[in-house]
Amino acid sequence: MKILLPFQDPYNRPLTYPIVSGGTEMFMKSIKENFDTVVYQFPYEQITWKKQSDKKEIAENIVHLAEAYKVDVIVSNFAQAVFNNQHLIKSNIPIMFVEHCIYPMAAPIYRWNQGIDRGHSMFFVSKWQERKYKEMAERTNQRVLPISGYINPSYCKVKPKMVEQEYDCGTIGRCDNGKAPFKLKSMTKGRDIKSLVITSKTQVESDIKYYERNKNWDDVVWDRPYKEVMENISKCKTYFSTWTSETWGITAMEALSCGIPIILNSDKNGDHASEIIPADKSHYVKIPKDDKDALVKAIKSFENVDRKEIQEMTWEKHNRKKWKSNFANAIDKTIEKFKKTP
């Protein structure tokens, strides 16, 4: 099968760039590495264009490219109108919408529903995420999205050797207010905890203040390629998922794949989407949202764990073969649904 992948990156990096900008970009990189894929990239700033004619032009380019390369499916990974507007959903090629985040506006629900009515398919990454969109749809008097299934955003890729652990806890996250990777530093400040933050410098204006507040912490790794990120996180005894609105948690899976147990910062309801990732309940602990004492207690609770067992069980659950089969089945389902739609 052949796939067209419309792509934009917040830093305008190509999909082949060694530094990964985020989870959605990692997912798209996995598609390119495992399937016959045509990538259509355009500058990030173009998605904020206000003129409908500009959005129409991009949508038409996507459809024309899909037709020229005779692809079987278009995989659309973003909620912005450029990726799901009327001009795109009129495509005669099936579209597989995959949403990775919780987009804070209701308009995409309306557009996705229109796409579904035309025979295209919608996939989420977790039931936790689906529940959030269900609540948003009901709150805005829209039809709850009839999704076609769930997609795991990633799989185990790098298996670092077991090394001597230098840090009590580590985390990975883009340097922005939402993901807030430096919660690990602020929540353990003054405690007997040695922590590591692996992050990337933001280029988004709204997050500059967050960067300025946090740029001077010790033990921070900035802007490193994926391989080095994995080598660094493997030096940690535990991993802290700081973002309460995480929809799946690729970095949590990556930590587990190194044999590192994870600590999840729960949302206000005491839930966290990444609970579905560990291969066993003993591999993770949830803490109440932003509870400093609970975090320190959780870090210290994992003093004696079988790291090799965590690593092997994670690789068994999240291996490349299973991921590829799951994604291929979703594409087949998308194509079949489109064929059956009048």
The DSSP line for 48-107 is G---HHHHHHHHHHHHHHHHHTT-SEEEE---SGGGTSHHHHT-SS-EEEE--S--S-SH
The reply to whether 51 falls in a domain is yes
Report the pLDDT value the prediction gives residue 82, as an integer from 0 to 100.
87
User: Based on the domain organization, do 308 and 324 belong to the same domain?
Assistant: no
Closest to 311 (Cα-Cα) out of 319, 320, 303, 300: 319
My answer on whether 139 and 262 are in the same domain is no
Phi (first) and psi of residue 338, to 5 degrees? -65, -40
What residues make up the domain containing 26? 2-154+320-340
pLDDT in tens, 77-116: 999 888 999 999 999 999 999 999 998 889 999 999 999 9
131 and 226 assigned to the same domain = no
- Looking at residue 203, what is its pLDDT? 65
- Estimate the share of the chain in helix, then strand, then coil, as percent rounded to the nearest 5: 45, 15, 40
**CA gyration radius, the chain:** 20
Task: Write down the residue that tokens 């990633």 correspond to.
Answer: 154
Number of domains within the chain? 2
Does residue 17 sit in the same domain as residue 118? Answer: yes
Measured in degrees and rounded to the nearest 5, phi and psi for residue 204 equal -90, 125
Low-confidence residues in the chain, pLDDT < 50: none
Strand (E) positions, the chain?
Answer: 2-7, 36-41, 73-76, 95-98, 121-124, 149-150, 169-172, 195-199, 220-222, 239-241, 262-265, 284-287
User: 33 and 119, same structural domain?
Assistant: yes
What are the residues whose beta carbons fall under 8 Å from the beta carbon of 49, sequence distance 6 or more?
A: 55, 82
Q: Looking at the structure, tell me whether residues 306 and 328 fall in a common domain.
A: no
pLDDT of residue 177: 87
Within-domain flag for 208: yes
Domain annotation covers residue 44 = yes
pLDDT in tens, 235-281: 999 999 999 999 999 999 999 999 999 999 999 999 999 999 999 99
Is 164 a domain residue?
no
Same domain, 107 and 133: yes
Say if residue 25 is in the same domain as residue 143: yes
Q: Are 154 and 27 in contact (CB under 8 A)?
A: yes
In this structure, the answer to whether residues 117 and 75 fall within a common structural domain is yes
- Give a yes or no: residue 281 inside a domain: yes
Does some domain include residue 230? Answer: yes
Per the domain annotation, does 114 fall within a domain? yes
Residue type, 198: I
Same domain, 23 and 104: yes
For residues 141 and 219, membership in a common domain is answered with no
Cβ 233 vs Cβ 210: under 8 Å: no
Answer yes or no: do 47 and 181 share one domain. Answer: no
- What is the CATH number for 14? 3.40.50.2000
Q: Which residues contact 173 (CB under 8 A, 6 or more apart)?
A: 179, 180, 181, 197, 198, 199, 242, 243, 251
Is residue 163 assigned to a domain? no
